Amino acid sequence: MVKQERAVRTRNTAVRAAASEFYRAGYGGTSLKAISQAAGISMGAVTFHFDSKAELAEAVAEEGCSAVRSALDDAAGRRRGKALDDLGSLLLELARLLRDDVTVRASAHLARELPDIEDWTTLWHPVVAGLAQEAHERGELHAPADPASVTALVAHLLWGAEATLRGAYPDGEGAALDQLEGVWLLVLEGIGPDSA
């Protein structure tokens, strides 16, 4: 039993280290040796669990996407009744995942580099589109706002949050969620129903 627990810990350590390295250096810029060093485990321990770098990338994407699925399930269980509010909450939760979970960040990054890997966007995009459609049907959107444009807006906001977290913008991690929340509140002024 102790050996099994140690094997699970070693595997998890390798996956987390691989996620950090894939996120930092990209798939092409990451080697099994770099992952082994980052994890603080032997190359033999890494290759015992994973036959190749590609298999390790799949494990990282699988773990990141699993976290996204959990967040989507949790969000569905916390529905407040107003689709536009639920859409904003989901946007911020997905951004939190990007900030807090290296496997989610790495999954998003890997999906751009490896076309055959599971893409986290395919998980949340239909949920976002459904909430935008529901908001439209309930009259929660300003007349010119259509569900497809709202869905695209949320996608762009998430991709922008990811870019901010990657350091593309000077304020970085600490301000990313605050900025996103502020932008979303500003957006609501434009897409929300007329208050008059």
Q: pLDDT tens, 41-80?
A: 999 999 999 999 999 999 999 999 999 999 999 999 888 7
- Please tell me the predicted confidence (pLDDT) of residue 185: 83
DSSP class per residue in 9-60: HHHHHHHHHHHHHHHHHTTTT--HHHHHHHHTS-HHHHHHH-SSHHHHHHHH
Tokens 């990338």 correspond to 57
Residue 17: the pLDDT is: 96
Percent of the chain with pLDDT over 90: 66
Cα 80 from Cα 70, distance rounded (Å) = 18
The two three-digit tokens of residue 69, written as one number: 């699925």
Buried b (16+ CB within 10 A) or exposed e, 135-149: bbeeebbeeebebee
pLDDT of residue 191: 65
Taking only Cα atoms into account, the Rg of the chain, rounded to an integer number of angstroms, comes to 19
Stretch 183-189: mean pLDDT: 82
Share of the chain above pLDDT 70, in %: 92
Greater pLDDT, 110 or 185 = 110
d(CA 112, CA 98): 15
pLDDT of 196 = 42
Virtual CA dihedral for 98, 34, 2, 58, nearest 10 degrees?
Answer: 50
Confidence of residue 194 (pLDDT cuts 50, 70, 90): low
Looking at per-residue pLDDT, the higher value among 86 and 163 belongs to 86
Calculate ∠ Cα 149-141-92, nearest 5°: 70
Please state the three-class secondary structure of 115-155 as a single string.
Answer: CCCCCCHHHHHHHHHHHHHHHHHCCCCCCCCCHHHHHHHHH
Name which of 19-23, 153-157, 169-173, 181-185 the model is least confident about.
169-173
What band does 135 get if pLDDT is binned at 50, 70 and 90? very high
Average pLDDT over the chain reads 88
Tokens of residue 170, six digits: 């000077």
pTM: 0.86
Domains and CATH numbers, the chain: 59-191 (1.10.357)
